Amino acid sequence: MTTATRPTVLILGANGRLGLAAAQAFDAAGWQVLAQVRRAAMVGMPARARLVPASVIDIQALSVQAAGAQVVVHSLNPPYTRWASEALPLALAGMDLAQQLGARFMLPGNVYNFGSDMPALLRCDTPQRADTRKGRIRVAVS
């Protein structure tokens, strides 16, 4: 496959643990990887990945640099001390970006939104009963 025929993925937060693993996996699967970063690439970033040093909040600039991406992977995770102020705005910015690009939005999950009494087996229809601040933020993101 040539660069022009490979599917393209934009990974938001490509220098984090999840972002870097996603970049490696998509690259290994033959995708063209656009790696949104705030600083130089971490060790292990695929050599074929194209770094995109734009802010996630600047959707216009990022959408220009990521034109053609079919998938946007949201792997941004602010420190827990800043979740209340940053998690939802970052997720919404990622969703807006994916919509502007006409791309599928991938948001990795966690279990905060199911609450402390969640069952041992979670299913698609398991009710979200968040009982913590982080859980309520996660429900708002989804």
Asked, for residue 71, whether it belongs to a domain, the answer is yes
Asked, for residue 48, whether it belongs to a domain, the answer is yes
pLDDT for 1: 58
Mean per-residue pLDDT, 104-129: 91
> Contact 15/75 with Cβ under 8 angstroms?
no
pLDDT tens digit sequence for 58-78: 999 999 999 999 999 999 988
Domain that holds residue 64: 8-108
Asked whether the predicted pLDDT for residue 34 surpasses 70, the reply is yes
Higher-confidence position of 72 and 2: 72
Mean per-residue pLDDT, 100-115: 91
**What whole-number distance in Å separates Cα of residue 73 and Cα of residue 19?**
8
Q: What is the mean pLDDT of the chain?
A: 92
Whether residue 81 is found in the same domain as residue 58: yes
pLDDT class of 3 with cuts at 50, 70, 90: low
CATH number at residue 72: 3.40.50.720
pLDDT for 2: 62
Asked whether the predicted pLDDT for residue 142 surpasses 80, the reply is no
> Contact 53/13 with Cβ under 8 angstroms?
no
Whether residue 104 is found in the same domain as residue 117: no
Indicate the SS3 state at residue 74: strand
**CB-based contacts of 136, cutoff 8 Å, min separation 6:** 130
pLDDT over 70, % of the chain? 97
Whether residue 104 is found in the same domain as residue 134: no
Whether residue 21 is found in the same domain as residue 87: yes
Asked, for residue 123, whether it belongs to a domain, the answer is yes
Secondary structure element (H or E) that encloses residue 96, with its range: helix 83-101
pLDDT for 8: 98
